[in-house]
Amino acid sequence: MIVYKIAVAFGRIVSFLPFRLIYRLSNFIAWLLGAVLKYRSAVIQRNLKASFPEMSQKEQYKTQKGFYRNFADIIVESFKSLSISEKTMRQRFVLRNPEVFQKLYDQNKGLIMVMGHHTNFEWTAMAIPLVVPQNCYAVYHPLKNPHFNKLIVKIREQFGLQLFKMADTYPFMLNNPDPNPLYVFMADQSPHKGKIKYRGQFLNQSTPVHLGVENLSKKCNLAVVFIDIIRVKRGFYEIEAQLLFDKPQQTETYEITNTHLRALEKLIQKDPPNWLWSHKRWKHA
């Protein structure tokens, strides 16, 4: 409890700093992670080498350095989430093509919004209810510490997102009475070793993939929309939505899975530094 109170007090102090100071802190954190702590440096280098075998050492170093900057920005922006206002978030989070979501809403069609751990995925999930007409839901894995768990849920739900536990995913979605919900799903999480049912080609490697997006879009007849998260400049993001499927039940087996994998792969190849390279994505490859 004492650790929780100290951590929250520190986080709130940081959250009230102006953005210009927030990003100075981010620069320090990025330097600390990369030059001093060498945070997961071996994992990052291994992932980059396997994903981009043609990448030179100089390019790899530049990408790794860019990763630390992106990761540090996510950290300080997460602190900022403790006090950020709706007005500020609306200024910093813009949807380029809202008509994709509006059309589905007008058709009374629910959807799964698929994204990756790219740029500030935390802000994206938190702020998406501000820019779409749908009620928004997201799965989460509860933390062991009940105090931190309560705080994280409060932060993520502050603009209208509704969380449900990972263990409740199928019963929640199959029984949700909302006629046109929006569910937030991550496309790049690694399944547990004992639950691997499919491997797809992703970033030059055979990769275990969750089939939840495909299975649930078919069971619940949900459209599948992939989003690119673009950092326009520090602290400002724009979202580009791409409708992948509006009739999921008419697709071939693994077609949905392979399509959203390709969309994420294309995004990462276009913008390598801003993906979460420290994640042990291929630990069960």
Which residues, other chains included, contact 82 with Cβ-Cβ below 8 Å and sequence gap of 6+?
8, 11, 12, 15, 155
Amino acid in position 264: L
pLDDT, residue 247, reads: 98
pLDDT of 4 over the 90 cut? no
CA torsion, ordered 44, 50, 53, 55, to nearest 10 deg? -10
pLDDT of 199 over the 90 cut? yes
| Among 77, 118, 127, 84, residue whose Cα is nearest residue 267 | 118
| Among 101, 96, 178, 88, residue whose Cα is nearest residue 132 | 101
Query: In whole angstroms, how large is the CA radius of gyration of the chain?
Result: 19
| Angle subtended at Cα 105 by Cα 136 and Cα 115, rounded to the nearest 5 degrees | 45
Which residues, other chains included, contact 100 with Cβ-Cβ below 8 Å and sequence gap of 6+?
225, 241, 242, 243
pLDDT, residue 122, reads: 95
pLDDT of 3 over the 80 cut? no
Q: Is there a contact between 104 and 223 (Cβ–Cβ < 8 Å)? A: yes
Pair of tokens at residue 4: 């929780």
pLDDT, residue 8, reads: 85
The pLDDT confidence band at residue 7, using thresholds 50, 70 and 90, is confident
Mean pLDDT for 6-13 is 87
Place of tokens 């799965």: 139
Query: Which tens digits make up the pLDDT trace of 209-231?
Result: 999 999 999 999 999 999 999 99
The pLDDT confidence band at residue 250, using thresholds 50, 70 and 90, is very high
Mean pLDDT for 142-146 is 89
The pLDDT confidence band at residue 10, using thresholds 50, 70 and 90, is confident
Query: Which tens digits make up the pLDDT trace of 77-88?
Result: 999 999 999 999
pLDDT, residue 269, reads: 97
Query: Which tens digits make up the pLDDT trace of 23-64?
Result: 999 999 999 999 999 999 999 999 999 999 999 999 999 999
Give the Cα separation of 246 and 243 in Å (integer): 7
pLDDT, residue 175, reads: 97
Give the Cα separation of 260 and 224 in Å (integer): 9
Mean pLDDT for 2-21 is 89
Burial 84-105 (b: 16+ CB within 10 A, else e): beeeebeebbbbeeeebbeebb
pLDDT of 147 over the 90 cut? no
For the chain, domain boundaries: 1-83, 94-277
| Among 110, 162, 156, 172, residue whose Cα is nearest residue 138 | 162
pLDDT, residue 2, reads: 82
Would you say how long the chain is, in residues? Answer: 285
The pLDDT confidence band at residue 16, using thresholds 50, 70 and 90, is very high
Give the Cα separation of 223 and 3 in Å (integer): 43
Kindly give the residue spans of alpha helices, DSSP state H, lying in the chain. Answer: 2-15, 19-31, 41-51, 57-80, 86-92, 99-106, 121-127, 146-156, 169-175, 212-219, 255-270
